[in-house]
Structure 1
Amino acid sequence: MPGLPATDEQLADTALIQQSWEEPEFFAGVFDRHAPLLHRYAARRLGPDAAEDVVSETFLAAFQHRRRYDVAQGDARPWLYGIASNVIGKRRRAEAARYRAYVRSGVHPTEVAGGLVEDGVTTLAVNLPLVAALAALKARDRDVLLLVAWVELTYEEVAQALDIPVGTVRSRLNRARKKVRQALDRNHTTHREGQDDE
């Protein structure tokens, strides 16, 4: 109906952020809209305990710098995931250690189950090589790969999130995919050779 104020669900992220400049409570709409998926992403990378901190730090930074938000962007996801990537970057050692521990122990953390392999295959035989391949990637390549694979950002959105050119997104993504594919192919070949020897 004309004349009625829009609800948070109806307002674009840009409108919520702009309104929060004068009325900070509007920023809660951005949090409510994006925090659950941001938490899921952070948990897949660092575990559920660290994910809480990542989400808190991300939204604190976003709120503090909300006047810097590019109002030409209707969707705040690239901006928020860019901040989250920086926060996760401070914990790179923890992320790599988590992957290595998983590969060594074979313990399948609940937040990883079904998360590392997007096609629904969740056997350790597939996940362990994939986790090892992710751990072996350079952090900047892993960021691009996971923002595309897990968050489903476009190349342009990843470029915006990480403040890099689209061409750099493409080259990092190609490099990451190639390395992961090679690692999985090597594992598949080794696994098949082991079965043939039996």
Structure 2
Amino acid sequence: MTTALEKPPDLRGPDVTAVFAELFDAHARQLRGYLAGRVGESAADDLVADTFLVALRRRHSYDPEQAPIKGWLYGIATNLVREHVRKEARGRRAGLRAVGRPEPDHGAFVADRVDAERASRVIARALTELRDEDRDALLLTSWAGLTPAEVAEALGEPASTVRSRLHRVRTRLQALLTEENR
């Protein structure tokens, strides 16, 4: 039997259950790792399930000639991450307002998730200052292992835009690390 990784899957065919089972087996573990890095272990499993549920519901919009399925799935997952983070932030703000405490910004929340040595703290600080689009492109390549072409498909942007964005972000991070080591 041909696996989901060898040829574009037929998401419109009569055996969609088997196709999605193959897709899940081929991509869920790596997708979960990416999501756990973005939103934490506790939310990652739910977001993986949601990613495949959205993919199943939107299967007719997938065009295998446009890009590999992996980019499409990571695009769905990235949009779900954004929605999840917005919901969490709204909930935190509402809770803080209820007890009369000031609201933290989203950048501080992202930085608090990163727990590592000095270089990681510098990178975490830089990540909080990045625009969402820049952060998504960087994390999709570094954490999820997507190519710039796959990131472009996931984010619905031209590959040249993603490559430029990645170059700019990596140059900035390198400058920050160099400055920190002085």
Give the TM-score, by structure 2 length: 0.78
Residue in 2 that maps onto 1:186 = 179
Tell me: CA distance 1:66–1:54, structure 2 relative to 1, closer, same or farther (3 Å).
same
Residue in 2 that maps onto 1:87 = 80
**Distance of 1:10 and 1:138 partners within structure 2:** 34
State whether structure 2 residue 43 is matched by structure 1 residue 50.
yes
CA contact (8 A) 1:13 1:74 kept: no
Tell me: CA distance 1:126–1:55, structure 2 relative to 1, closer, same or farther (3 Å).
same
Q: Counterparts of 1:58-69 in structure 2 under 5 Å?
A: 58-69=51-62
Residue in 1 that maps onto 2:132 = 139
CA contact (8 A) 1:14 1:75 kept: yes
What is the Cα deviation at residue 99 of structure 1? 2.8
SS at match of 1:14: coil
**Distance of 1:168 and 1:84 partners within structure 2:** 20
What is the Cα deviation at residue 183 of structure 1? 2.0
**Distance of 1:179 and 1:136 partners within structure 2:** 11
Give the TM-score, by structure 1 length: 0.72
**Distance of 2:17 and 2:48 partners within structure 1:** 18
Aligned-pair identity in percent equals 38
What is the Cα deviation at residue 167 of structure 1? 1.8
**Distance of 1:158 and 1:47 partners within structure 2:** 21
Residues 36-82 of structure 1: per-residue CA shift (max 9 Å, x gap) = 10000000111101212221221110010112111226731100001
The amino acid that maps onto 2:8 is T
SS at match of 1:91: helix
The number of residues matched between the two structures is 163
Q: Counterparts of 1:33-182 in structure 2 under 5 Å?
A: 33-72=26-65, 75-92=68-85, 96-102=107-113, 108=115, 124-182=117-175
Of residues 19, 22, 28, the one that matches 2:21 is 28
The amino acid that maps onto 1:99 is V
**Distance of 1:124 and 1:25 partners within structure 2:** 44
**Distance of 2:68 and 2:12 partners within structure 1:** 13
**Distance of 1:69 and 1:164 partners within structure 2:** 16
**Distance of 1:125 and 1:39 partners within structure 2:** 26
**Distance of 2:39 and 2:66 partners within structure 1:** 28
**Distance of 2:140 and 2:29 partners within structure 1:** 16
Unaligned runs of 5+ residues in structure 1 are 1-5, 109-122, 190-198
Residues 80-102 of structure 1: per-residue CA shift (max 9 Å, x gap) = 00111111111345674443324
SS at match of 2:65: coil
CA contact (8 A) 2:67 2:153 kept: no
